[in-house]
Amino acid sequence: MRDCVRLAILIGALAMAAPAVQAQQPPDDNDRSDEDAMPAIASICLSCHGTGGRPALEDVPIIAGQQPRYLRSALLAYSTGRRTGGQALVMQEIVKTLSEDDIDALADWFGGQ
């Protein structure tokens, strides 16, 4: 039951994150290299995984600074349904909206934080 409530909160957070994607402009990367620029799609992740590398929610993993290759394989495992259990359902829904290019860009960017 507690897990259901938590999942509901997370899905609520996701719903709130969606309009933020439209509102938030991709950062101006004129004076930054492409490696540093945050992929615009990453703004949907920050609501749960945290802006300063620290998630606001206690049961959301820290992904900033994680190995890019690990992040990529975790995202692919959610997308193919290989990774289940825990709160995998939350991420399975999110990765449905991502292309493989998005996954590569997100893994590189979060890994570089």
* Cβ-based nearer residue to ligand HEC, 87 or 113: 87
Our measurement of the distance from residue 21's CA atom to the centroid of its chain's CA atoms, rounded to an integer in Å, reads: 12
Minimum distance from residue 27 beta carbon to ligand HEC (Å): 16
Binding site for ligand HEC (CB under 6 A): 10, 13-14, 17, 44-45, 47-49, 60-61, 63, 71, 74-75, 86-88, 90-91, 94, 98, 106
Q: Which is nearer to ligand HEC, 38 or 60 (CB)?
A: 60
Q: What are the distances in angstroms from CA 50 to CA 1, 2, 30, 66, 81?
A: 26, 23, 25, 14, 25
